[in-house]
Amino acid sequence: MRRDDNKNAPKHLLVLFSTLFVCGLLIGASFLVNKQGFASSYFPSTTTMANKVENAHEQNNISYVSQAKTFAIKSAEHSANIIQNVQATTHAFTTASTGALTAQIEKIGAGLNDVFLAIDTQLSKIDIKAALHNIAEQGYAVMKNVDQTLVSMKNTIHEEKDQTNTHLAMNDSADAFELNNIEPTSGGDTQTQPQEPSTQYLSGGRFEKETDQINTEGVLVPKERTVISSSRDGKIAHIYFDNGDRFKTGDTLLEYECHDAQSEAQIAYMEDRLRSTELNTTMRLLNLDLISNIEREKAETEKGKAEARVQLYNDKVSDCYIHATYDGRVVKRLANPNEYTRTDRVLMEVASDDLLDIEFLLPSKWLRWVNINAPFTVTINETGRTYEGKISRIFGEVDPVSQSIQMRGTLENYNDRLLPGMSGNIDIDISAIRDAGVVGYLEKTRAE
């Protein structure tokens, strides 16, 4: 029934609008008949219409007024019926819609009430205070276990440290020290009081050997490596060596186009010759007492300026050429002839052609036994051969992360054509170091 009422609602509205339109026509007709404005109501009564008809009868329009009277009465009755039907229908539709909406709201309210009751029931089953208490007890138990573990680790570390110190003290006393009387302290621990170390370190050494040999990886590096950068802005005229080419000390590696500098040097040279001639003439005139010493000093000053200009422009011309300062080879060429270059641009990298060095990392703890001139052997991966060398440099800082220190060693005479960047395995033997008379870096004092 609700769906049918909803479908009929537009029809009732259409009837309502039609009725209002008819009422408007009636009001207009009343205005034309009476010419006195609108009627007092949108739905005029039968008495009002009768009065209008009587007025029209007085104007000899009896026939027209009778028809109008009949039509008006029927229209008014029909309109009143329609209005009643529309009001009844609208009231029924509104009542039905309000009832349906109220029913839906009550249904939703009942559902929400059930949900709230269910949530309240579930929450009442959960003991939040007890749950939080259990969580706190579990956390306390975990922290207590962690604290006990840390205390145990700390005690273990202290025990191992005490044992290690005692062991080292006993070994040192057997090699280079004399034990003082050992007396127990109030805590039950024992302490040793070693005497000053002897100057003779090689009778076993101050540090006991923990291992006889250590292996590490190293990389071959040249003794000297130079990055050549441009010293001026200009055009490159020639580059005389390419990648891998060998050169000798004094060879010209690169040349700029320097016509301007060469021209300025020529002008300075010609001016110097002129100042030399003027100075000679001045000296002759001075010998004849024709000029004063002031003129001589002026001539000597101008001569000195000219010589300085010559030197200045000769240096500029020299800067147009880059010469090799040692025997070597080109590692990398980064420029080409006829290119325009800027100051500080890298043009090439060169390296010396001497016997190669090798760089490697060692645990910093090995400074107890390793020092400058300590011997080692290295097997190069590319050749498969073993070469001998000695440590030539110990870098000045220990890497705090890896606890290692960088060292450089020099390979002894070899005939193979080794190149920088080759790598190999390095073997260092403590017994060989001590046989060579080398004292460990940490086995010496600052004064030594």
Confidence band for 165, pLDDT divided at 50, 70 and 90 = low
Structure tokens at 95: 């009542």
Range among 38-42, 86-90, 381-385 rated most confident:
381-385
For residue 46, give the amino acid letter.
T
In Å, how far are 141, 152, 158, 160, 186 from 155, measured between CA atoms? 21, 5, 5, 9, 19
Q: What is the pLDDT of residue 249?
A: 92
**Check whether domain 213-223+355-443 has CATH 2.40.30.170, yes or no:** yes
Averaged pLDDT for residues 161-165: 54
- Whether residue 374 is predicted with pLDDT greater than 80 in this model: the reply is yes
Tokens 């819609």, residue located: 97
Burial class of residue 370 (count of CB atoms within 10 Å of its CB; 0-12, 13-18, 19+): buried
User: Following CA atoms 307, 309, 313, 316 in sequence, which dihedral angle do they give, to the nearest 10 degrees?
Assistant: 110
| Residue-wise DSSP of 285-318 | HHHTTSS-HHHHHHHHHHHHHHHHHHHHHHHHHH
Q: What is the pLDDT of residue 403?
A: 93
Confidence band for 24, pLDDT divided at 50, 70 and 90 = low
Nearest to 253 by CA among 349, 353, 356, 352: 349
Confidence band for 388, pLDDT divided at 50, 70 and 90 = very high
Averaged pLDDT for residues 399-406: 93
Structure tokens at 252: 């010209």
Averaged pLDDT for residues 80-84: 71
Q: Which residues contact 10 (CB under 8 A, 6 or more apart)?
A: none
Averaged pLDDT for residues 363-386: 93
Adjacent-strand bridge partners of 393: 408
Averaged pLDDT for residues 22-29: 58
Adjacent-strand bridge partners of 218: 360, 424
Confidence band for 216, pLDDT divided at 50, 70 and 90 = very high
Range among 61-65, 169-173, 288-292, 348-352 rated most confident:
348-352
**Check whether domain 225-348 has CATH 3.40.50.720, yes or no:** no
